Amino acid sequence: MKITSFVKGLYNRLVGGDKRNGLQTTGAQKLLSSKRLWLFIIMTYGGLSLFSLKKNNEQYSLKLSVSRKVSRISGKFAHLKVPQPLRKPLFTFYSRVYNVNLEEIENDIESFESFSKFFTRTIRPRPIDPQPFSLASPADSRVLTFSEVKGDEVLIVKGIEYRLGEFLTGINSYKIKDEVLESMKRNPKNKLYQIILYLAPGDYHRFHSPADCEFKTRNHIVGKLLPVKEKYVKTHTNVYEKNERVSLFGDWVQGMMCMVFVGALNVGSIDLNFDSELQTNRKLKMPFTNTDIKIYTENAENGTESLDSKGIPSGKSVGKGIPVTKGQEIGKFNLGSTIVLVFEASPDFEFTVQPGEAVKYGQCIGNSK
């Protein structure tokens, strides 16, 4: 092997050649030298292996992640067919434990062939907030927090923050600078805001558009699938930055709109209705890319949206994307999880909800005066 030859040559240079010094080498010395050589080779290979492991530590960590494996196993169990006689008692019991509103379900409870079908159930249509400059809740959920975005560190709960740059790009320790935040806005007079919504296991698991939007870019970031419950987030750092997530970038009437769907333990599958290529929590083969960016266009003539070097839309929109109307269903989780909205709005935009408040999809969560 070339590496072995290189190591042998390096060894000879380090220990020095006896012939070079004009000295004779005995058989015992040759044997000892040979043993030292192979020990040197093994130690060198070990060092190179450790270096390689450190270099690819993140990828190995993701490939061997217990949370990803557990979530895939949970998904397989959730897709197992439930015998007809057991469906009503099982789903009714689950509904009582997790406060599922069975009156909203469109289909009979016994029609769901598996827990997965029950988790991703459809419900009867609801009225959607009609105000043109308001945002509607994208999902049945609980408000964790909301705030104006003034820098890279953004509040999750009191005393706990997430790093917006790493969260949106998937690049470790990437910090969004003020000029990048400004470039994300379509109107320099506007402000950026964020709101975090937590979906519990008993909530309706499909998500909807918070406004009339046109989504132009999707960024799928491979990650772990740690729990996202508030209690866990309070006691563990960088949960949002570590977890697998899917981001949609686009526009609404007031400017930039970004929706981030965060995976969680037992919630490895995130589906988008208009993107059949998206595959979350897939088995990873080394080496792999941590991010998968897709540009949406209605047709080849519409062009694309320009991105900066980190994969964040620059604000310079070129062409059309995927148009969705306010309240339109755009995808689903296979169990409870988290949605983060990062968006642009006028300086007088106000949230109409409070942290800890339960909200329904279609309900107004904020508007501009």
pLDDT of residue 196: 95
pLDDT of residue 320: 77
pLDDT tens per residue across span 41-59: 555 555 545 544 444 666 6
DSSP 3-state of 221: strand
Token output for 121: 């159930």
Q: Which region among 70-74, 88-92, 181-185, 302-306 has the lowest average model confidence (pLDDT)?
A: 302-306
Pick the residue with more confidence: 185 or 31? 185
93 pLDDT above the threshold of 80: yes
Q: Which region among 36-40, 203-207, 253-257, 342-346 has the lowest average model confidence (pLDDT)?
A: 36-40
Q: Of 66, 57, 54, 114, which is closest to residue 281 (Cα–Cα)?
A: 66
What is the average per-residue pLDDT within 164-178?
Answer: 88
218 pLDDT above the threshold of 80: yes
90 pLDDT above the threshold of 70: yes
pLDDT of residue 336: 66
pLDDT of residue 22: 47
- The C-alpha angle 216, 217, 223, rounded to 5 degrees, equals 155
Instruction: Give 353's pLDDT tier (boundaries 50, 70, 90).
Output: very high
- The whole-chain average pLDDT of the chain stands at 80
Distances (CA, A) of 142 to 97, 151, 195, 274, 357: 17, 25, 11, 26, 6
**Helix pair angle (2-15, 27-55), 10° resolution:** 120
pLDDT > 70: percent of the chain: 72
pLDDT tens per residue across span 99-122: 999 999 988 999 999 988 998 999
Contact 134/212 with Cβ under 8 angstroms? no
**CB contact set of 162 (below 8 Å; sequence gap of 6+):** 153, 154, 156, 238, 239, 240, 241
- Can you tell me the distance from the alpha carbon of 261 to that of 272, in angstroms, rounded to the nearest whole number? 10
pLDDT of residue 231: 81
Catalytic amino acids? 140, 208, 337
pLDDT tens per residue across span 233-292: 888 888 888 888 999 999 999 999 999 999 877 655 899 999 988 988 777 677 767 888
Chain centre distance of CA 266: 14
- Can you tell me the distance from the alpha carbon of 83 to that of 90, in angstroms, rounded to the nearest whole number? 10
Count the Cβ atoms, other than its own, within 10 Å of residue 364: 18
What is the average per-residue pLDDT within 174-192?
Answer: 92
Containing 46, the helix (H) or strand (E) segment is: helix 27-55
- 307: DSSP letter: B
Contact 78/112 with Cβ under 8 angstroms? no
Question: Per-domain residue ranges for the chain?
Answer: 2-55, 129-367
- Can you tell me the distance from the alpha carbon of 188 to that of 363, in angstroms, rounded to the nearest whole number? 28
Instruction: For 63-149, list the strands marked E by DSSP.
Output: 134-136, 141-148
141 pLDDT above the threshold of 60: yes
What is the average per-residue pLDDT within 282-306?
Answer: 66
- Can you tell me the distance from the alpha carbon of 98 to that of 152, in angstroms, rounded to the nearest whole number? 35
Instruction: For 191-328, list the strands marked E by DSSP.
Output: 191-198, 206-208, 213-221, 245-252, 255-262, 270-272, 291-295, 322-324
Instruction: Give 301's pLDDT tier (boundaries 50, 70, 90).
Output: very low
What is the average per-residue pLDDT within 126-151?
Answer: 95
pLDDT > 90: percent of the chain: 47
Q: Of 88, 97, 142, 139, which is closest to residue 118 (Cα–Cα)?
A: 88
